[in-house]
Amino acid sequence: MDVTVTLQENMAYWIWPYIAVGLIVICPIIFLTVRKLIEKKKAGAGTVRKLLSPAEKESLRGEYLGRVDSIYSEYRNGRLSIRKCYQKLSLCVRGFVTAYTGVPVIRCTLSDLKRMKNMVPLAELIENYYQVEFPIQSVGDVDRTVKETKWVIQKWI
């Protein structure tokens, strides 16, 4: 019986190194994750964005409408594939909304945009872009899409 008790006691001591290693690995991961979330929350809360004047808004619209025209011209001249055209239009309109609102929508997924109530026109437009950007064979109506993109930029409040 003494051998059995000693064996059980020795086995109980073997678990502590595994617990220690687990804590050494998991604790820094938890710490870094929580710290990153706190920093992200502070960065978002502390950011005060200057509102654009009506003249600045119109200037911004003009700048981005010009960019859309430039992308469309590149496509029509054969310098862009349809997929690349849609990708550039997506970046352009996302850049406009980011500059106009201060909300960094450049990296937002379609799901993120759909959850944002004030981003509905952008989400609908991006959803249309996705249909051409991601399939193996890209097919789309660039003329219509350019008009829709310009409409979103012109009507953005």
What are the C-alpha distances in Å from 80 to residues 68, 88, 115, 117, 141? 13, 9, 32, 33, 14
Residue 7 has pLDDT above 50, yes or no: yes
Rg of the chain taking only CA atoms, in angstroms: 26
pLDDT for res 6: 59
Q: What is the DSSP string of 20-35?
A: HHHHHHHHHHHHHHHH
- At 35-45, the pLDDT tens digits run 777 776 655 54
Convert the pLDDT of each residue in 63-122 to its tens digit: 999 999 999 999 999 999 888 998 999 999 999 999 999 889 988 888 999 998 889 899
Mean pLDDT of 53-65: 94
How high is the pLDDT of residue 47?
A: 47
